Amino acid sequence: MDEPEWLNAEELTAWKALAEVLFLLPAALESQLQRDADLAMADYMVLVMLSERDDHCMRMSELAASASTSQSRLSRIVARLEAAEFVTREMAPDDRRAVLATLTESGLAKLVAAAPGHVAQVRRLVFDRLTPAQVLSLTDIARALAHPDDHAACDGPPR
Amino acid sequence: MDEPEWLNAEELTAWKALAEVLFLLPAALESQLQRDADLAMADYMVLVMLSERDDHCMRMSELAASASTSQSRLSRIVARLEAAEFVTREMAPDDRRAVLATLTESGLAKLVAAAPGHVAQVRRLVFDRLTPAQVLSLTDIARALAHPDDHAACDGPPR
DNA sequence: CTAGTTTATTTGACACAGCAACTACTTCCC
DNA sequence: GGGAAGTAGTTGCTGTGTCAAATAAACTAG
């Protein structure tokens, strides 16, 4: 393995600031949603994903992938949401292994009630603090960082 | 309350990319550290904070603040680290309510062993993907976002 | 000096995430 | 057709985080 290149001064200051954001921002979003809508971020994401479908319906595995969560976690989340009557679960007609989760009326109502507060929090914590130019810059940067696994194999020797 | 201003197109794309980073990057760092050093990120942070002190020693409350974690969580983390003999806990001589956590030799050794892999991961997932200009830009942006609570009270009516 | 308050930390109860084992169904292939 | 292999989803176990209550020491005022 290489001599591990330490971070230089600019990188270190950038990293400290980024680490703080990585740590505190999700917590701040989570806590707003929990307090105002009694939903976890993951619950909210699931409701959003379902709401974006025309039929408000998705297979568990697909839902897990779009909400970036594991199947087992999703299974428990949906069980919770089902208990709260925000979604229903039914066997898929074409493949009887699969389960279709469907957003209910009250689930949609819950989402509609929760979304404005969440968006306001995003605005307050992110966009109110950035200039339009920074927003564009952030988009590029975030996109560059957005796929941690992609370059996993690039550590190896060049072919 | 205001009409909740929805996000515009630029903000929405920025938010989607940022949300992904917020979700995946910590997980990728966590999992490298867990796999290669059997440490949680929070454990690592605690070791780092202690190592940065000349005496390798800090009060629990101070440690909780610098690692951005709750006291109760820190208490359990340090209990774990103590069980692994990476830190010791002792009553503070001047204030007998307080507890001083001290990094042990083997705790420092653990940190020294874990750090290069962690830094390499940070480099691989962050700095290898950004231009120097983007690093500077990121610093500004991250600093602007870094204190979610600061403006919490600004929502209320001015006194 | 002593009752009440504030500060520092831990702990019990409960909820949730991750892993691995499990069930149930489908597909592949001879 | 029928068994092996693969896929979809759930669940038991265990570890960890959170909240609130508990403990204990230090201030603060009368």
pLDDT tens, residue by residue, B2-42: 455 788 999 999 999 999 999 999 999 999 999 999 999 99
Please judge whether A142 and B14 are an interchain contact, meaning their C-beta atoms are less than 8 angstroms apart.
yes
Residue B62 lies in a domain: yes
Residue A96 lies in a domain: yes
Alpha-carbon distance A15 to B71, whole Å? Answer: 24
Residue B157 lies in a domain: no
Which H or E run contains A72? helix A71-83
- To the nearest whole number, what is the mean pLDDT of chain B? 91
- Asked whether strand D has any atom less than 7 Å from the CB of A80, the reply is no
Q: What is the DSSP code string of A99-159? A: EEEEE-HHHHHHHHHHHHHHHHHHHHHTGGGS-HHHHHHHHHHHHHHS-TTTTGGGGSPP-
pLDDT at residue number B5:
72
For residue B25, the SS3 value is helix
* Closest residue to D11 (CA, C1′): A72
Which strands form A57-59's sheet, in the order they lie side by side? A57-59, A99-103, A87-91
Residue A127 lies in a domain: yes
CATH number at A120 reads 1.10.10.10
Q: Any residues with CB less than 8 A from the CB of B36 and at least 6 apart, and which?
A: B114, B117
Residue A51 lies in a domain: yes
Q: Which of A45, A57, A131 is nearest to B16 (CA)?
A: A45
Residue B34 lies in a domain: yes
- Region B52-71: mean pLDDT is 96
Please report, for residues A81, A82, A94, B128, the alpha-carbon distance to residue A89 in angstroms, rounded to integers and kept in the order given: 10, 7, 15, 44
Q: Give me A9's structure tokens.
A: 């001064």
Query: How many Cβ atoms sit within 10 Å of the Cβ of residue B35?
Result: 10
Q: Detail the protein residues whose CB sits closer than 7 A to any atom belonging to strand C.
A: A 40, 42, 69-70, 72-73, 76-77, 80, 95-97; B 27, 59-62, 64, 71-72, 74-76, 78-79, 89, 92, 95, 97-99
pLDDT at residue number A151:
52
Q: List CB contacts (< 8 A) between B149 and chain A.
A: 28
Q: Cite the DSSP H helix spans in chain B.
A: 9-37, 41-51, 60-66, 71-83, 105-125, 132-145
Q: Which domain holds residue A66?
A: 24-141
Query: Which bases of chain C are under 7 A from a protein CB atom?
Result: 7-12, 16-21, 24-27
Residue A153 lies in a domain: no
pLDDT at residue number A6:
86
What tens digit of pLDDT does each residue of A77-117 get? 999 999 999 999 999 999 999 999 999 999 999 999 999 99
Q: List CB contacts (< 8 A) between B136 and chain A.
A: 10, 14
Residue A106 lies in a domain: yes
Q: Give me A144's structure tokens.
A: 């560059």
**Count of domains for chain A:** 1
